[in-house]
Amino acid sequence: MPDDAVPISLPAGGLAAPPRPSAEREGHSHGPARYGAAPAYAALDLGTNNCRLLIGAPLGTGFRVVDSFSRIVRLGEGLAATGQLSEIAMERALGALAACADKLLRRPLRSVQAVATEACRRATNGAAFLHRVEVETGLRPRIISAREEAELAMESCAPLLEAGDRRALLFDIGGGSTEIAWIRIPAGGPPVAELIGYISLPLGVVTLAERAGHSCFTEEGFGAVVEEVAAQLEAFDRVHCIGQEIRAGGVRLIGTSGTVTTLAGVALALPRYRRPLVDGCRLDVHVADQALGDLFALGRAGLAAHPCVGPERVEFVLPGCAIYAAIRQIWRVPTLTVADRGLREGMLLRMMRADRHGLRGAPRRYS
């Protein structure tokens, strides 16, 4: 990265001026944001279930992780029933965002971007909540579209493509929605991903857990969710002739979500979850199916005790597995590539690429 590269402007999402003392949350003190020729970039993803921060510094064509943060906040809790973010859910999210803001203000950063996804897209008070976030934490997340979610996931997973891949089918099982991206890889040269179709299903692990979570622990209930999701995928399959392309060969199935990384952890019999062993691994789908069966057989107590699940995720694992099972039912690809990466990684790669190809000049300071 050139030393005099121009950092990305942050008019729509990033870090605003620190809040006035009267607006500060108790226990948090904010100094001015530090931008300039710093080597690090930060990406924050406020999702329906999790609040995640990733700070990285460029390394070759990728980056090395400098710091990270992740907390389950369940921002979308109750949203399907009321159409609004609840006060208790917003308070949980604000606590996590304040922790992220403190991390960001402790180090020099080249650029910061923050996004909000399905919960804030759907909630009638989503925009008002994000204004409150800015006032209380100084962070300014922008609401991104489902298409941009798919594009960012595609960007982060593109390094997992290999020579010989003609197409890729990428799925991201989130808290409030599931994004499916249909990707073309042009022939010749290094793999370059091109989004040629996408669909966003209003079904995620939080929405399904609230509506059908208990029934997912029964074979009948689990099967009903699988059929519901599969019915919504069939139209997308017909439009893009995905099944036909799979039969022709050269289609890679990539999954990026807590659901598929959990399946991988179980399939690999990990005594505890280890990202380096999971990210980029390839599973025979029959092995993944067996891992799904193993998770289903554990029940609530067994899932809570499992080192790759834990008590906080018990209610979400089987709804996510039902979505995966529907994808597997519609698209019979022999192997699954598992990605422990997503929006934040895609955001970092975009910021770094923009700097590499940006206008030269003195770095701009944001405060």
* 270-277: long-range pairs with CB below 8 Å, 24+: 270/307, 270/308, 271/307, 272/307, 272/308, 273/307, 273/308, 275/340
Same domain for 280 and 257: yes
Predicted pLDDT of residue 29? 29
**Mean pLDDT across the stretch 101-112?**
93
How does pLDDT run across 10-20, given as a tens digit for each residue? 333 444 443 43
Residue 28 counted as domain residue: yes
Residue 5 counted as domain residue: no
Q: CB of 15 within 8 A of CB of 33?
A: yes
Same domain for 127 and 100: yes
Same domain for 212 and 140: no
Whether pLDDT at 23 is above 60: no
More confident residue, 293 or 28: 293
Same domain for 181 and 303: yes
Whether pLDDT at 80 is above 50: yes
How does pLDDT run across 128-139, given as a tens digit for each residue? 999 999 999 999
**53-92 b/e (C-beta count within 10 Å ≥ 16 → b):** bbbbbbeeeebeeeeebebbbbbbbebeeeebbbeebbeb
26 confidence band (pLDDT: 50, 70, 90): very low
- Which of 4-13, 15-24, 200-209 is predicted most confidently? 200-209
**Mean pLDDT across the stretch 68-82?**
94
Phi-psi region of 188 (alpha: psi -120 to 50; beta: other; left: phi over 0): left
As given in the structure block, the two tokens for residue 237 are 């399959």
Same domain for 173 and 132: no
Q: How far from the centroid of its chain's Cα atoms is residue 110's Cα?
A: 22
**Mean pLDDT across the stretch 341-346?**
94
Domain CATH code at residue 181: 3.30.420.150
Same domain for 323 and 274: yes
Is the CA virtual torsion 281, 283, 287, 290 positive or negative? Answer: positive
Predicted pLDDT of residue 365? 29
Same domain for 248 and 313: yes
Domain CATH code at residue 68: 3.30.420.40
In Å, what is the CA distance from 142 to each residue of 115, 174, 343?
A: 5, 18, 13
Helical segments of 214-342, H only: 219-240, 242-248, 258-267, 275-278, 285-305, 314-330
Domain that holds residue 44: 14-144+345-356
Predicted pLDDT of residue 38? 61
Residue 366 counted as domain residue: no
Residue 174 counted as domain residue: yes
More confident residue, 359 or 225: 225
Whether pLDDT at 356 is above 70: yes
Please state, in angstroms and rounded to a whole number, the distance separating the CA atoms of residues 277 and 270: 9
Please state, in angstroms and rounded to a whole number, the distance separating the CA atoms of residues 157 and 150: 11
Q: What is the average pLDDT value for the chain, to the nearest integer?
A: 86
Same domain for 236 and 204: yes
Residue 340 counted as domain residue: no
Same domain for 328 and 203: yes
Predicted pLDDT of residue 189? 58
259 DSSP assignment: H
More confident residue, 366 or 61: 61
**Mean pLDDT across the stretch 269-281?**
94
How does pLDDT run across 138-191, given as a tens digit for each residue? 999 999 999 999 999 999 999 999 988 999 999 999 999 999 999 999 887 566
Predicted pLDDT of residue 191? 65
SS3 169: strand
Residue 3 counted as domain residue: no
This prediction has a pTM of 0.84
Residue 156 counted as domain residue: no
Same domain for 181 and 327: yes
Residue 208 counted as domain residue: yes
Amino acid making up residue 224: A
